A = this chain, B = another copy of it.
Amino acid sequence: MKLGDLGEFGLIDSIRARVGAAPGVYRGIGDDAAELEIPAGHRLLTSTDLLLEEVHFRFAWTSAYDLGRKAVAVNLSDVAAMGGLPRFVYVGLACPADAEVAQLDAFVTGVLDEAAEHGVILVGGDTCRSPGPWVISVTVEGTAPAGTAVGRDGAHPGDLVLVSGTLGDSALALDLWQQGKTPDPWLATRHNRPLPRIALGRELALAGLATAMIDLSDGVASDLEHILQASKAGAEILSSALPLSPAFRTQLERRPELFDLALGGGEDYELLCTVPAARAEEALSAGTRTGVPLTIIGTVMERGAGFRLRDAAGGVRPLRVRGYDHFCR
């Protein structure tokens, strides 16, 4: 069956039937706006993303189910990077009228599974026809107790720079696809099923450990620069300290140029944070406790020191990458 046979209202009705009642949701799908409760003493944290076929994803590499999960996950990751608890999600979808209903169903199932896994409720969205590519917009609303959310502007000279998980896996999978190769399943999963680090982000925020935090969408080089600009600081990163997966190391041995992906590859969706040196031990424990290892990769410095990379031989080079710019080629 094609989407054109089911229709917009048929699609909305079928999605609505799959979402149950939930605490804090007075009105969800099916009214002009969702009506929601924010716990007293908490602030609202909202993030929104726009994803386009051929720009952000290709069905040759990412299934409709994984796309649904990933579209939600990357927004949950933004709330995680503030130290917040994601609660509500909205999905806008434009796709061709000749899209298969089975593909739509897989996408919706991915959205609902990812939301459910993190206790998040689908409460609204929008659907329309696209003349060409699939277009997905996702908005996530979360909360954090007043005064606990962590921005990008609090890094101080002397703080240590920590990152969760491993770097470059997602970009390596993409690199292999772009070369016509097939990444091994673990690498492909790192690209298609990012894991929002919600529990870790909350621990770092609620305990006041992180002075600044961001999630890695464009790579350490670019995303740490966002923190340094907002915090008016510099930093030194140790190339030998970057956490790399066994799968990444195997490829790196054959192709040393892949190291750039660990620094500047996109879509890791790991947390990058700065922590006062005296509290680094506590932060590392939080990583252990939440099952998401943190690694110290460098130090925040005075702004005058710039942003630089120190290699294993002691050589230093400036990092001036501004990451992926959608409009500059």
Contact = CB atoms under 8 A, between A and B. Distances in A.
Interface of A: 3-9, 11, 26-27, 30-38, 40, 43-50, 52, 54-56, 78-79, 81-82, 84, 88, 90, 92-94, 97, 123-133, 135, 137, 139-142, 144, 146, 149, 151-152, 213-215, 230, 322, 325-329
Q: What are the 9 closest A-B residue pairs judged by CB atoms, nearest first?
A: A137-B137, A50-B92, A33-B47, A32-B81, A128-B326, A32-B78, A129-B326, A33-B45, A36-B44
B92 A327 contact: no
Nearest to A39: B38
Nearest to A324: B8
Contacts of A152: 30-32
A99 to B, nearest CB: 9
Given A31-B230, A35-B151, A48-B125, 13 more contacts: A32-B152, A33-B78, A33-B142, A34-B47, A36-B45, A37-B43, A38-B44, A40-B40, A46-B124, A50-B127, A55-B128, A97-B327, A131-B132
Most buried by B among A49, A139, A149: A139
Contact of A94 (B50, B79, B81): B50
Contacts of A32: 47, 78-79, 81-82, 152, 213-215
A88 B33 CA distance: 14
A93 B52 CA distance: 11
B43 A130 contact: no
A270 to B, nearest CB: 13
A39 to B, nearest CB: 10
A46 B126 CA distance: 12
Nearest to A143: B38
Contact of A129 (B35, B55, B84, B135): B55
A94 B35 contact: no
B79 A33 contact: yes
A196 B58 CA distance: 38
Given A32-B78, A43-B36, A126 B7 contact: no
B126 A84 contact: no
Contacts of A141: 44, 46, 141
A43 B55 contact: no
